[in-house]
């Protein structure tokens, strides 16, 4: 029971920092993941043996990292984007045009490439990932803020913070899912730990293509289950946002 608690509260002692760690399958080197088995008892199903990480506690522990980065990135990008957007809408004139022009250049580019470029400069640390995602995502909030200001307030009217929160709520929910996907891409492909997944293909191929060995090894649990979890979360967030926004999302300019 104590081991199970440690798996969730402090998974780092097992070497589990995020989901990308779970993708690292090295035969005979480090801790290899095994597929869950109810027949072995709930302690083994939920806990950790000396040579394996059970998926559930490792997944729960690793999500702390991913969701922390996701929420921090969403908060920074939305606050910065809304502040810049409303300022541009208030001031107007050449400043507004310049902000829109620059923002559309960034938002029209493949934003994942912008994030990776910023991440390369900011260095692959947790704060670097947050800065990279916030930089790549804030242009969407700048354009949304300008449009929201034009549609609902006007240059001479006072705007309600409750109205702003209600107006942006669908986008917050959508971006929770979308940014989760971006964080997953960055962590899965090793941009944080310098451990690209493709490096581990050779280790997985050590199984010699034996399907039963592959299933028993637990590699498929470690890859498919987290991906399915992330996919369902992103889909749920998008559907909820769609319903809250009346079935449309016309602010993604």
Nearest residue to 133 (alpha-carbon basis) of 145, 121, 116: 116
Q: Evaluate whether residue 175 is within a structural domain.
A: yes
Tokens of 193: 């730990």
For 142-159, write each residue's pLDDT tens digit.
888 888 887 776 545 566
Q: Evaluate whether residue 208 is within a structural domain.
A: yes
pLDDT of res. 170: 80
- C-alpha 45 chain-centroid distance: 27
Q: Evaluate whether residue 176 is within a structural domain.
A: yes
pLDDT of 168 over the 60 cut: yes
139 — pLDDT class (breaks 50, 70, 90): confident
Q: What is the domain count for the chain? A: 1
pLDDT of res. 91: 86
Per-residue b/e over 98-110, b at no fewer than 16 CB within 10 Å?
Answer: ebbeebeeebeee
Tokens of 121: 């400069």
Mean of pLDDT over the chain: 64
CATH number for the domain harbouring residue 74: 1.10.3720
pLDDT of res. 92: 82
**Range 161-183 average pLDDT:** 78
pLDDT of res. 234: 67
Q: Evaluate whether residue 83 is within a structural domain.
A: yes
pLDDT of res. 197: 39
pLDDT of 178 over the 60 cut: yes
pLDDT of res. 15: 55
Q: Evaluate whether residue 70 is within a structural domain.
A: yes
d(CA 130, CA 68): 9
**At 245, is the secondary structure helix, strand, or coil?**
coil
Q: Evaluate whether residue 41 is within a structural domain.
A: no
pLDDT of res. 80: 92
pLDDT of 246 over the 80 cut: no
What values do phi and psi take at 52, rounded to 5? -155, 155
Query: What percentage of the chain has pLDDT greater than the value 70?
Result: 36
188 — pLDDT class (breaks 50, 70, 90): low
**Range 128-133 average pLDDT:** 81
Asked whether 88 and 146 are in contact (CB, 8 A), the reply is yes
120 — pLDDT class (breaks 50, 70, 90): low
DSSP string, 168-205: HHHHHHHHHHHHHHHHHHHHHTTTTTT--GGGGHHHHG
For 55-114, write each residue's pLDDT tens digit.
555 556 556 666 777 888 889 999 999 899 888 888 888 888 888 888 877 766 666 677
Tokens of 213: 């060995």
pLDDT of res. 35: 46
pLDDT of res. 240: 67
Q: Evaluate whether residue 250 is within a structural domain.
A: no
Nearest residue to 111 (alpha-carbon basis) of 81, 133, 89: 133
Residue entry with tokens 């993708």:
23
pLDDT of res. 79: 92
Range of the domain at 182: 63-244
Higher pLDDT, 214 or 167: 167
Q: Evaluate whether residue 14 is within a structural domain.
A: no
For 218-233, write each residue's pLDDT tens digit.
555 555 555 666 667 6
Specify which of 28-32, 93-97, 191-195 reaches the highest per-range mean pLDDT: 93-97
């Amino acid at each position: 029971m104590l081991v199970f608690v440690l798996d969730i509260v402090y998974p780092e002692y097992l070497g589990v920092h995020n989901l990308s760690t779970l993708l690292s399958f090295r035969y005979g080197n480090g801790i290899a993941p095994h597929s869950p088995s109810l027949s072995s008892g709930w302690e083994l199903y939920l806990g950790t043996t000396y040579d394996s990480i059970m998926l559930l506690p490792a997944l729960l522990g690793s999500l702390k990292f991913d969701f922390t980065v996701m929420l921090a990135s969403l908060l920074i990008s939305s606050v910065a984007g809304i502040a810049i957007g409303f300022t541009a809408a208030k001031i107007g004139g050449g400043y507004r045009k310049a902000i829109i022009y620059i923002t559309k250049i960034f938002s029209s580019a493949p934003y994942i490439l912008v994030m990776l470029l910023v991440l390369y400069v900011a260095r692959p640390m947790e704060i670097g990932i947050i800065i990279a995602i916030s930089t790549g995502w804030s242009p969407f909030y700048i354009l949304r803020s300008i449009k929201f200001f034009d549609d609902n307030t006007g240059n001479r009217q006072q705007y309600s913070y409750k109205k702003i929160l209600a107006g942006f709520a669908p986008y917050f929910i959508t971006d929770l899912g979308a940014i989760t996907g971006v964080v997953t891409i960055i962590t899965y492909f090793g941009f944080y730990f310098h451990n690209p997944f493709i490096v581990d293909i050779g280790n997985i191929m050590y199984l010699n293509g034996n399907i039963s060995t592959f299933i028993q090894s637990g590699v498929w649990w470690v890859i498919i289950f987290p991906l399915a979890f992330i996919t369902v979360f992103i889909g749920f967030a998008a559907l909820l946002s769609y319903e809250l926004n009346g079935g449309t999302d016309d602010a993604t300019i």
